[in-house]
Chain A
Amino acid sequence: MTTTIDPPERRETAADKLRQGRHAISERWHHAPRWVRWVLLVAVIAFFYALPNKEFYQYLGPIPTPGANFTQVMFTVSIYVLLAVGLNIVVGFAGLLDLGYFGFFAVGAYTVAVLTSPSSDIKTLWPWLLVVPIAIGLTMVSGVMLGTPTLRLRGDYLALVTLGFAEMIRIAAVSSEFLKGQRGFNQIPHPPGQYADGRPWFGVLDARPYYWLVLTLIILVVIGVRNLTHSRVGRAWISIREDEDAAQLMGVPTFKFKLWAFASGAAIAGLAGALFAGKQNFVNSQNFELLNSIIILAAVIFGGSGNIVGAIVGGGLVAYMIERFRGIELFGIELYEYRFLFFGLVLVVMMIFRPQGLIPNRRRAAEFKDRRKEVIVGE
């Protein structure tokens, strides 16, 4: 028999205080009048639209990245946020462990590359905008193809299969003649649109328009995902995540909803891939390392799996922190070289002290309030 050891009291109270503080903030947020929340939300969105302008970010002290073009970094960050929002559907809502999410991103990017680039064998040379829906559709189809045999199984099969899928895509990209390996596809067209004087909206030098485009799409996707999670679909996902057998015993067609989560997550990754290809103008096999899948998964868990805001914050912070290390030297060591060491350390510390993520999904309780009202008509 072991005797119970009292937990160290001081840390306990400090953690409690922190929890209370966070709780107080979330309480205040949820009890704030609707207009206050809207004003704050609009202010936050406006801030992020203004962020890549030099006239704005030069006053933000340490926020801009010293070693890289801050606007470029913001574009990368926005792509990661979009991916995190998509993966959060799969991992956070439906509770399916997807280790190869970046594979879908690659499918999206390569679809655009193959159908638009002059270096592609099929030389269709279609415009970017026409190919985007095709890219989203194809990633969805690949998600369904991958999910149909694996989602019927329980446990770790899905994680393994998705891991294999991402590697398959990467290896195909490296070695297949059709996908051009390292040489890649160049001259992928940019998104359309031009100013009155004939200059294109989406040029080569300025990353801001791409960032704004992605930011706008993130907002649209988040609105869509939010509506979905407030519906019967969202309830089904949560029930599957919490107890799959019980969900089935309540009449939830679990396979169908898992496939839906998987396919919608894939579609968002496809969209992100198409945006990435349209911005980079060049896609080759080096863009799709396994590490990227891991980073996005880590970002979702870091931010708070199952919470949209958590996924946004996680995706944004992780992508930004990695870039932030660029160009910083300490004792003659380039910190950027060790960026993943720090990343790993932060993750380990997080998992010890806050395994539920920065912004966990306790909000779900509040999300369900509306439905409660529906149910308790007699109360």
Chain B
Amino acid sequence: MLLEIEDVSLLYGRIQALHGISLTVDEGEIVALIGANGAGKSTTMRAISGIRPVASGRIKFAGEDITKLRADLRVRRGLCQAPEGRGIFPGMSVLENLDMGAYTRRDKAGIAQDLARVLELFPRLAERRKQAGGTLSGGEQQMLAVGRALMSRPKLLLLDEPSMGLAPMLIQQIFTIITEINQQGTTILLVEQNAQQALARAHRAYVLETGRIVKSGSGTDLLHDPSVKEAYLGVA
């Protein structure tokens, strides 16, 4: 088990955002976390990456208890999140952003290799390598966030709404890339509102509702589950 979350609760002030969430991610999987706005998807991500402290419960990564570990040290353990939306560095160029992704690494040859790989995955980024991150379009910024997270060569890549605000064609493209990254050996935990795409691509998935996991199963099972269909796929 690469990632194991046991009964995690999290508070924003007095508001309880997560009520005892448990989930697991196996090595080599794509696991999707779907749910409506405010269900606690991004909060779950923040708990895993360590940006928000959890109130109770345990988080284990590669056999190690990381519940109390600082976020930056989790990155060093191989757990990297591409933040939601515009979590890129706006004043830095595309290359500087990617370079920041490799902040924890010192193996120059390996970094150069990964940079080449990222630029191959995202040719748009290669075209705009010297442009400031803040001047990119929404889709390009999203790609940059994913590419930057890859630069840390993570064991587990956390993707928070990679398709948010993208045109349908770009959504297709970014999910193709996610599958490709996974096939190259990176385990992925994916948070998505675009349940259709996420379930189609994921090996397994969890459905989150008001801070609780209400359903889980294989991607295809959930895709054909009537209640999921009704609630998240817009099919009556």
Considering the chains assembled together, what is the distance between the CA atoms of A236 and B99 in angstroms?
11
Interface presence of B152 (CB below 8 A): yes
Binding stretch for chain A, among B111-119, B182-190, B213-221: B111-119
Q: Would A250 and B93 be within 8 Å (CB), given that A245-B83, A375-B115, A377-B112 are in contact?
A: no
Interface size, A (range):
20 to 34
14 additional contacts (CB under 8 A) given A239-B92, A247-B100: A238-B92, A243-B89, A249-B71, A249-B75, A249-B87, A250-B148, A251-B80, A251-B104, A368-B92, A368-B93, A371-B99, A375-B95, A375-B102, A376-B95
For B140-158 the 0/1 string (1 means CB < 8 A from A) is 0000000011001000000
Is the Cβ of B51 less than 8 Å from the Cβ of A245? yes
Among B81, B88, B104, B111, contact of A375 (Cβ-Cβ < 8 Å): B111
B50-82 vs A, Cβ < 8 Å mask (1 yes, 0 no): 110000000000000000001111011000110
Residues of A within 8 A of B (CB): 232, 235-236, 238-239, 242-243, 245-254, 364-365, 368, 371-372, 374-378
Candidate in B49, B103, B109 with the most chain A CB atoms within 10 angstroms: B103
Q: Are B100 and A374 in touch, CB under 8 angstroms? A: no
For residue B101, which residues in chain A have a CB less than 8 angstroms away from its CB? 250
Which A residue sits closest to B45, measured CB to CB?
A249
User: In the complex, which residues of chain A have a beta carbon less than 8 angstroms from the beta carbon of B112?
Assistant: 375-378
Please indicate the chain B residues that have their CB under 8 angstroms from the CB of A245 in the complex.
51, 83, 87
Contacts of A378 in B (CB 8 A): 112, 115-116
What are 11 residue pairs bridging A and B, where the CB atoms are less than 8 Å apart in the complex?
Answer: A238-B92, A242-B89, A242-B91, A246-B89, A247-B100, A248-B50, A248-B51, A251-B76, A251-B103, A253-B73, A372-B93
Which residues of B are in contact with A by a Cβ distance under 8 Å? 49-51, 70-73, 75-76, 80-81, 83, 87-93, 95-96, 98-104, 108-109, 111-112, 115-116, 132, 148-149, 152
B49 contact set on A, CB distance < 8 A? 249
Give the one of A232, A235, A371 with max B CB within 10 A.
A235
CA distance A243 to B100 in the complex (A): 12
* Chain B proximity of A340: nearest CB distance (Å): 32
For B99, list chain A residues within 8 Å (CB).
Answer: 235, 371-372, 375
List of B residues within 8 angstroms of A246 by Cβ: 83, 87-89
